[in-house]
Chain A
């Protein structure tokens, strides 16, 4: 089912905190919900669809629905696709609205990994019964080395360099200097990135995203409701979701599921990569951005390193302004899941509400893309294309 034009993002809110030791995770979810409702000009009683993922307490819908006392839900969805869950939720909300199942869908994300001492160099408990765990966990796969293995192979196959990857961080830092809430606001150079401590070859400390508390929420509504509100109209025009795995041993770490979700989203939206004025690209690590840009079709496969170089992602000077809030690399990465904040900055850009220093002129079409899980190995991918009406 194409959902093109069948739903709108009417509310968006990003929690301002980056460290919230005295907030419960439930409180953060609810504060984000409240913020998004106020942004839209709606009330809690208008919500008839609710979406959350594994970051929600209990990893189910009913715990947060109960905490927020949502009493009129007609459609619920706790699809967990890791960090890109919320991009999937927007697509699913649009489908539910198009099918007449609900009219006002709330999507929330929140977490406190900063307060809880989470790090990308820790082995994470991934739960019981995982079929792959006995054959992987003795080797200590951690977030950073799983992505680093992709970067190492990408360098081998395509000649990508550490300096090219560093440009992704440099661009993010140029944007973050204008965001008062960003964790890292200092502009950095390529030299500073490649001279920062090596965490897991070839990824340096400054190739890695921040660990932050916080959260965000969006509200997706039917065209009728969207047009009754006083906010700029952000229409959903293209969606794509998929997973990619290790193919029973035929592992290929140099591309991601974006190679499938991107073309599907572009086809639904009826546009092409060169039409995109602003892109939110999941930036857990610099290599994540390079691979996804290639897979989405912004450049030829293998040319991502060249594409991001020389400031090409910096708003105002580059061809493809990206992550103008500073992204996960500089701004925030609440709950270790960056998909929500990717949607939020794309909505700001389409509304013309980004910081004036990074606002893209005539931003009428934007893309948000995310990866959840481990890039290349086992991951979810989701692409969202939105237009200003």
Chain B
């Protein structure tokens, strides 16, 4: 049995000041995380202050857009179509929440290699999602 991923309406991200560059990069097909200029550690979701050392010297870092599935769940009830939510462990380290798309949702596995793709929300914003690599 297979559950093919289907297109569904995606909520627009409600941006806070400081978030725009992340979504601008998404529109160009790039996935960014943040890196601290003082302690050197990366983090996600992006903050204005480094969540490791509280330095204000944080800057964007372009990721390779690849990683492995940390966990997932296919939500089969409640929405118009089934969808797969999960976390990906990026090759750069941080885990990020995402959806898995363009694949058979029943074939997803923890540890599976995935790569980023970008999908449009209702207002046309691009958000990163992942598909088997």
Contacts and interface: CB of A to CB of B under 8 A. Distances in A.
Contacts of A121: 75, 77-79
A137 B47 contact: no
A144 interface: yes
A387 B33 CA distance: 49
Given A119-B78, A129-B16, A152-B72, A137 B11 contact: yes
Contacts of B125: 138
A149 interface: yes
B93 interface: yes
Contact of A141 (B51, B85, B111, B129): B85
Contacts of A128: 14
Interface string B60-76: 00000000001111111
A152 B71 contact: yes
Interface residues of B, number: 47
Contacts of B27: none
A139 B121 contact: no
A203 to B, nearest CB: 8
Contacts of A249: 33, 42-45, 93-96
A47 to B, nearest CB: 40
A377 B13 CA distance: 19
B133 interface: no
Contacts of B110: 152-153, 156
A134 B19 contact: yes
Contacts of A199: 75-78
A198 B83 contact: no
Interface string A173-215: 0000000000000000000000001111111000000000000
B131 interface: no
Given A153-B110, A248-B43, A145 B75 contact: yes
B74 A134 contact: no
Contacts of A253: 70-71, 87
A142 interface: yes
Contacts of A138: 10-13, 99, 121, 125, 127
A248 B51 contact: yes
Given A199-B75, A199-B78, A145 B97 contact: no
Contacts of A246: 95
Contact of A251 (B47, B70, B85): B70
Nearest to A198: B76
Contacts of B23: 134
Contacts of B76: 197-201
B75 A137 contact: no
Contacts of A201: 72-74, 76
A352 B13 CA distance: 52
A123 B11 contact: yes
Interface in B1-40: 10-16, 19, 22-23, 33
- The residue among A128, A135, A253 with the most chain B CB atoms within 10 A of its own CB is A135
Contacts of B111: 156
B96 A135 contact: yes
Interface in B69-119: 70-79, 83, 85-87, 93-99, 110-111
Given A135-B45, A199-B75, A140 B87 contact: no
A142 B46 CA distance: 22
A246 B79 CA distance: 26
A158 to B, nearest CB: 12
A132 B51 CA distance: 13
Contacts of A33: none
B57 interface: no
A122 interface: yes
B95 A145 contact: no
* 5 closest Cβ pairs, A-B complex: A121-B78, A249-B94, A134-B13, A148-B73, A248-B51
Interface of B: 10-16, 19, 22-23, 33, 41-47, 51-52, 70-79, 83, 85-87, 93-99, 110-111, 121, 125, 127, 129
17 contacts: A120-B78, A128-B14, A132-B45, A134-B16, A137-B14, A138-B99, A138-B125, A139-B98, A145-B75, A152-B110, A197-B76, A200-B73, A200-B74, A200-B77, A248-B44, A251-B87, A253-B87
